């Protein structure tokens, strides 16, 4: 390439212009910080008042529950619960209003940062192009191309300027990129919080509707009709007993009552913070999946544990083939489940032959072998077994024991973030539990629907 000294100054000023475009302040047409703060302060004050009213209503309900049973007492309790639910709805609406403003501002900020990143990319690309041009020329070429010594120093100065400008541009690009990623992560949190608030409103509205129906029943009974009141109480107790004694179906384990399942779930909540209705929904969903795929390794089954569990050979083949593992053979897996399965069987004193395991799900590949109600594969159970046993105060955890299975699912779900208790955290944890990931999936949606139904049953059990 022939070098033209006359280009030096033009390129210098071109580079200078590019650098200035990076550091120009960003002008936003959004609301001023003072206006945004004023709105947030007003909403925060409203929210504080509502939250204080919720505390008052809850205390009133607790006080009334200690009184002798009567129609008036029960009507007052229901009224307090309805008021609490309505205040919760009001609180969530204020939260949504507050979040909506924040989300709008976040989106505007991200758009500005995205535009800035695009400009910086172009600038950086141009500077890198110029850097490559200078790097491709030797010092001797630079000297020979300049007739005057002054031109030589101008040219060398230009090289140094481009080099420094490139570094500055790269640093600024990294900073903007990091800031953009932080803003997007913060936006995701606010969007999750908004979705959680909307789901909470749906739940509280449904609860208010149920409480109002119950209240109407009490109001229809005269205070003098003691027999009618007792009939209402008996009906309520019968409904509660029916829920507690209903069978809670489990996969590859003896069925238990809903009351037992709820007690196990409450025990998990105390230890780990995972919501009972959500945990019950996960266990139910896993048992439903188990029923859909059938069973393996029982005496009457053709497929045994050696057929459905990947072993050391499958693991070794995976290490040899890498990404081409699935294309090359069906007997290739990233895990060895046979070894931990035999260890689990030995620790429990079980015979590996005949112990029920879930068959493979055809869409998921050739391997299966999930164990017990929680449907854990042996390698995953092996990682959690000590934590499960420790939480339950026992020496050995058994994947086929219902209480152990509940605790196992609770530990795994807690590790996945379900202990946060919000709708977003739970559905995300459910999707990860299934292995699909993301913030929404069909498995997670089904789990959340089940959890909503369990919430209603738990509400009845707690209604006193």
The phi and psi torsions of 247 (rounded to 5 degrees) equal -70, 140
Report whether pLDDT(423) > 70: yes
Report whether pLDDT(364) > 90: no
Report whether pLDDT(59) > 50: yes
More confident residue, 349 or 73: 349
**Residues 6+ away with beta carbon under 8 Å from 258:** 243, 244, 245, 246, 247, 248, 457
The phi and psi torsions of 422 (rounded to 5 degrees) equal -80, 160
Is residue 183 very low, low, confident or very high in pLDDT (cuts 50, 70, 90)?
confident
Report whether pLDDT(21) > 60: no
Identify the three-state secondary structure at position 371: strand
Task: Centre a 10 Å sphere on the Cβ of residue 298 and count the other Cβ atoms it contains.
Answer: 14
Length of the chain: 464
**Residues 6+ away with beta carbon under 8 Å from 451:** 275, 277, 278, 280, 281, 426
Average model confidence (pLDDT) across the chain: 79
Give pLDDT tens digits for 292-303. Answer: 445 789 899 999
Mean pLDDT of 162-184: 77
Give pLDDT tens digits for 309-323. Answer: 999 988 888 888 776
Q: What is the rounded distance in angstroms from the CA atom of residue 142 to the CA atom of residue 4?
A: 10
Radius of gyration of the chain (CA): 33
Report whether pLDDT(409) > 90: yes
In angstroms, the first-to-last Cα distance of the chain is 90
Mean pLDDT of 60-88: 82
The phi and psi torsions of 234 (rounded to 5 degrees) equal -65, -40
Query: Which residues lie across from 125 on neighbouring strands?
Result: none
Report whether pLDDT(213) > 70: yes
**H runs (alpha helix) in 222-300:** 226-245, 258-272, 276-293
Cβ atoms of residues 50 and 94 within 8 Å: yes
Q: Which residue has the tokens 């608030």?
A: 197
Judged by average pLDDT, the poorest of 169-183, 364-378, 448-462 is: 169-183
Give pLDDT tens digits for 29-47. Answer: 345 667 767 777 777 777 7
**Residues 6+ away with beta carbon under 8 Å from 89:** 201, 204, 205, 208
Give pLDDT tens digits for 257-297. Answer: 999 999 999 999 999 999 999 999 999 998 776 554 457 89
Which structure tokens are listed for 441?
A: 């999936």
What distance lies between CA 182 and its chain's CA centroid? 18
Of the chain, the percentage scoring pLDDT greater than 90 comes to 29
Predicted local distance difference test score (pLDDT) of residue 125: 74
Predicted local distance difference test score (pLDDT) of residue 19: 45
Which domains, and CATH codes, for the chain?
7-219 (1.20.1270), 240-307+357-462 (1.10.530.10)
Mean pLDDT of 351-369: 83
């Amino acid at each position: 390439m022939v070098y033209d000294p006359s280009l030096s100054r033009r390129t210098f000023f071109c580079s200078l212009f590019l650098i200035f475009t990076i550091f120009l302040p960003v002008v936003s047409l959004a609301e001023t910080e003072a206006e945004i703060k004023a709105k947030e302060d007003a909403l925060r004050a409203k929210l504080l008042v509502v939250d204080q009213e919720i505390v008052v209503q809850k205390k009133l309900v607790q006080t009334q529950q200690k009184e002798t049973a009567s129609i008036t007492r029960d009507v007052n309790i229901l009224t307090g619960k309805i008021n609490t639910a309505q205040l919760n709805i009001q609180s969530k609406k204020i939260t949504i209003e507050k979040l909506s403003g924040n989300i709008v501002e976040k989106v505007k900020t991200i758009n500005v940062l995205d535009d800035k990143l695009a400009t910086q990319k172009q600038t950086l690309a141009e500077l890198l192009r110029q850097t490559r041009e200078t790097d491709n020329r030797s010092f001797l070429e630079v000297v020979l191309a300049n007739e005057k010594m002054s031109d030589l120093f101008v040219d060398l100065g230009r090289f140094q300027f481009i080099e420094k400008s490139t570094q500055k541009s790269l640093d600024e690009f990294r900073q903007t990129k990091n800031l953009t990623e932080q803003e997007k992560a913060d936006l995701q949190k606010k969007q999750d919080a908004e979705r959680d608030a909307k789901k909470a409103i749906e739940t509280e509205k449904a609860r208010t509707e149920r409480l109002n129906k119950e209240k109407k029943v009490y109001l229809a009974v005269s205070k003098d009709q003691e027999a009618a009141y007792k009939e209402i109480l008996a009906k309520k107790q019968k409904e509660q007993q029916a829920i507690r004694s209903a069978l809670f179906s489990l996969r590859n384990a003896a069925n238990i009552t809903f009351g037992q399942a709820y007690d196990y779930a409450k025990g998990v909540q105390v230890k780990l913070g995972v919501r009972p209705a959500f945990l019950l929904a996960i266990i139910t969903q896993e048992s439903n999946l188990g029923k859909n795929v059938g069973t393996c390794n029982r005496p009457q089954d053709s497929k045994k544990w050696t057929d459905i569990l990947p072993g050391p050979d499958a693991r070794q083949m995976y290490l040899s083939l890498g990404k081409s593992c699935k294309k090359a053979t069906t007997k290739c897996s990233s895990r060895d489940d046979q070894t931990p399965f035999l260890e689990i069987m030995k620790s429990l004193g079980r015979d590996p032959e005949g112990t029920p395991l879930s068959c493979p799900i055809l869409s998921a590949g050739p391997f299966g072998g999930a164990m017990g109600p929680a449907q854990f594969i042996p390698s995953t159970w092996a990682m959690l077994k000590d934590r499960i046993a420790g939480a339950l105060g026992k020496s050995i955890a058994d994947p086929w024991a219902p209480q152990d299975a509940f605790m196992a699912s609770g530990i795994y779900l807690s590790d996945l973030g379900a202990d946060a208790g919000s709708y977003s955290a739970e559905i995300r944890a459910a999707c990860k539990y299934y292995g699909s990931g993301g913030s929404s999936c069909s498995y997670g949606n089904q789990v959340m629907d089940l959890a909503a139904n369990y919430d209603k049953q738990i509400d009845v059990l707690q209604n006193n």
